[in-house]
Amino acid sequence: MRTVEEIRAIHDQPFPELVFQAASVHRANWDPSDIQFCTLDSIKTGACTEDCAYCPQSARYATDLKVEPLKEVSRVLEGAKAAKAKGSTRYCMGAAWREVKDDANFDAVLDMVKGVKAEGMEVCVTLGLLNEDQAVRLKDAGCDVYNHNLDSSREFYEKIIHTRTFDDRLRTLANVRKAGLEVCSGGILGMGESGEDRMHFLHELTKLEPAPESVPINQLVPVAGTPMADAEPLPPLDLVRMIATARILFPKSRVRLSAGRTSMSDELQALCFLAGANSLFTGEKLLTTPNPGDSHDHKLVEALGMKIETAAV
């Protein structure tokens, strides 16, 4: 495992060296022309008890958000079919919950998992904290992946979230692993974290063993009403450096260029692909905020002569 200093040395290389190294690692492990399309579905929206300072779904902030209870299973399956028709091979269902409870809602989520799996898609869910038994139930229902982000360094995490701890997050990730699910874990950039926080965040991710199969890198989507509404925009080259460093640290993982793409130029996204990003969230919406949309993404992939990955891996 690399030290924080070693990670910083990778990250701080001259930009051409860094991107070349990342691109070399990328092509040694993946087809660099391939891009995975994943689609998000917010199956339960808003009214969350947590106080995550970046999140429009927290009940504590006055955001312009329509709160919605758990979606019906049939509506979720319609969404999955539509996403598949547009090239998506992974369907990721997110709930604004602090934690999973053993109730009828969880039973309904298990039915959603079974239904999406039956469509032949990779199934991912992100439901907050969970215990080992709940992780096993997800696995048994056919779930492939659990998303649970570390979000930032331990130190910065504890400044922006007070209703649970970094160690709670790590415990959930351990439960996910024990159940044999794949791990999807990454974070958010542009929240006001320091460069040091970013290095410690990556270091925490490298401490997960085995490595997460996917690493989503989100750029903060600043939402009016949240404490981060006026955060300074992330310098675009900072994003590319973090994508490239993640690619080098996680050669065999998917590095997903996640939230924040509506404020990125096509050229910036192309640079991220060159630096090793090989997965996107597609569709008109992320969970609650806008996303570039299918026609934009199909055009972008075509303009770059890249190809959408066709089958779930």
Token reading at 170: 């790590």
3-state secondary structure of 52: coil
Alpha-carbon span 5 to 200, nearest angstrom:
10
3-state secondary structure of 140: helix
CB atoms within 10 A of CB 47: 14
| Residue 206 or 279 with smaller CB distance to ligand DTB | 279
Alpha-carbon span 302 to 307, nearest angstrom:
7
- Residue 288 contact among ligand SAM, ligand DTB, ligand SF4, none, beta carbon within 5 to 8 Å by kind: ligand DTB
H helices then E strands: how many in the chain? Answer: 11, 10
Alpha-carbon span 94 to 79, nearest angstrom:
13
Is 217:243 a contact under the CB 8 Å cutoff? yes
Only segment of 7-15, 243-251, 264-272, 280-288 that touches ligand DTB (CB under 6 A) = 280-288
Question: Contact between 269 and ligand DTB (CB under 6 A)?
Answer: no
| C-alpha distance across the termini of the chain, in Å | 27
Among 109, 123, 199, 286, binds ligand DTB (CB under 6 A): 286
| Residue 162 or 299 with smaller CB distance to ligand SF4 | 162
| Residue 95 or 249 with smaller CB distance to ligand SF4 | 95
Catalytically active residues are 48, 52, 55, 92, 124, 184, 256
Among 193, 204, 288, 297, binds ligand DTB (CB under 6 A): 288
Cβ at position 109, least distance to ligand SF4 in Å? 15
- CA distances (Å), origin 223, targets 37, 53, 59, 228, 293: 25, 10, 14, 7, 19
Alpha-carbon span 62 to 229, nearest angstrom:
11
Alpha-carbon span 225 to 289, nearest angstrom:
14
Question: Contact between 279 and ligand DTB (CB under 6 A)?
Answer: no
Sites of contact with ligand SAM (CB under 6 A): 54-55, 57, 94, 96-97, 126, 128, 148-149, 151, 188, 218, 220-221, 223, 259, 287
- Least Cα distance to 149 among 241, 21, 259 occurs for 259
- Residue 215 contact among ligand SAM, ligand SF4, ligand DTB, none, beta carbon within 5 to 8 Å by kind: none
Question: Contact between 56 and ligand DTB (CB under 6 A)?
Answer: yes
Question: Contact between 259 and ligand DTB (CB under 6 A)?
Answer: yes
Question: Contact between 186 and ligand DTB (CB under 6 A)?
Answer: yes
| Residue 193 or 297 with smaller CB distance to ligand SF4 | 193
| Residue 56 or 115 with smaller CB distance to ligand DTB | 56
Among 13, 58, 134, 149, binds ligand DTB (CB under 6 A): 149
Tell me the longest C-alpha to C-alpha distance in the chain: 53
Sites of contact with ligand SF4 (CB under 6 A): 48, 50, 52, 55, 57-58, 96, 98, 128
- Total binding residues for ligand DTB by CB under 6 A? 17
The sign of the CA dihedral 237, 239, 243, 249 is positive
Binding residues for ligand DTB, rule: CB under 6 A, are 40, 56, 92, 94, 126, 147, 149, 186, 216, 218, 221, 258-259, 286-289
